[in-house]
Every structure is written in structure tokens, then in C-alpha cells.
Amino acid sequence: MPLNSIQTTASVSETLADILTRAGVSKSSTIRVTGPAGLAALLWFCRHGYDQVGYARGGPHLADDADLVLVPQTRGLADLERLLQKGPHPRAGGVLIVQTPEPQIASGADPVHDLLARSGYRLELCLHGRHRELHVARRDAAPPRRLAA
């Protein structure tokens, strides 16, 4: 079953476990959780037997070695942009899961999807909930090209 056909009637725990499995994240994957709502997610991973999970604070990181970076909550587009520039990143081919407020768009493309693409991520899934969106994106193998000024 493709990643974009997740059943959303399941519990939050079952849905997250299903998303992780379909994204290729296993209990032995290297997982980093970040952001102000990260503690609850960190505890969820520990309670569900994930072996290599830790909290990553914002700021420079020595290596992008995580198979998954989970950001359980951002305050908006600017917050996500700062995280994508200065926060932890998954390894090339790794997965970023981020929850954002649902954008106020009249028409056109979702600005979160555009930002993820410009930052070197390929969107695989977007789930809409009560005023929030959950985005699952895979980091490209090559870093995004910078445009000359």
C-alpha cells in the first residue's frame, strides 16, 4: 500500500507507527526529536521500543546522521524555515516528519510544501487534521542548489 494511503481513523499511536513503518523507519533506526513539543514524542518512542532515539536542540550539528528527524510541532512557516536552516537534519535519503499549523491559503500550492522542496526534501505524505498538517518528507541525496544573487 502506498505511503499516501494511510488510514486516519486509527489512534494517533497506530497512525504514527504506520507512518514510520511505511517511511522505512524501524525500531533500530537513528531518530532525533526536536522542538518545544519534543518531550512527549521522545517518551512515545522510548515506550514503544525504539533503540536509538534522542532529543536534538536547535543550533549547529556536527553530522546529519539521523534516519528520522521528528518535529512534533512548529508555530508556523518562519519557525519551520529556521529549523530547516539551523536545526538537525536527517541523513541524505532520511525522513523528516513535521507538524505545522494549517496554512491560510486561498488557492495555489501549500507554502510548507514549497519550503520543503526548496530545502531539499521530497514530500511523500501530508495529513490534514484539526488546524494542523503532518508532513512526511524525504531528504534528497544531493543538497539543494543555491541560486546566485
In a domain, 146, yes or no: no
Q: CATH number for the domain including 51? A: 3.40.50.150
Count up the domains in the chain and report the number.
Answer: 1
Cα–Cα distance, 31 to 55 (Å, whole number): 9
pLDDT tier, 122 (very low <50, low <70, confident <90, very high otherwise): very high
pLDDT, tens digit, for every residue of 1-25?
A: 444 444 455 577 888 899 999 999 9
In a domain, 116, yes or no: yes
pLDDT, tens digit, for every residue of 30-58?
A: 999 998 888 899 999 999 999 899 998 76
In a domain, 79, yes or no: no
| Amino acid symbol at 51 | D
What HEC string does the chain produce? CCHHHCCCCCCHHHHHHHHHHHCCCCCCCEEEECCCCHHHHHHHHHHCCCCEEEECCCCCCCCCCEEEEEECCCCCHHHHHHHHHHCCCEEEEEEEEEEEECCCCCCCCCHHHHHHHHCCEEEEEEEECCCEEEEEEEECCCCCCCCCC
Cα–Cα distance, 54 to 9 (Å, whole number): 29
In a domain, 144, yes or no: no
In a domain, 66, yes or no: yes
C-alpha cell at 37: 513539543
In a domain, 101, yes or no: yes
CA dihedral 15, 27, 98, 83 (to 10 degrees): 170
| Domain, as residue range, for 25 | 10-74+84-126+133-139
pLDDT, tens digit, for every residue of 71-121?
A: 998 888 999 999 998 889 999 999 999 999 887 766 677 899 999 999 999
In a domain, 1, yes or no: no
In a domain, 115, yes or no: yes
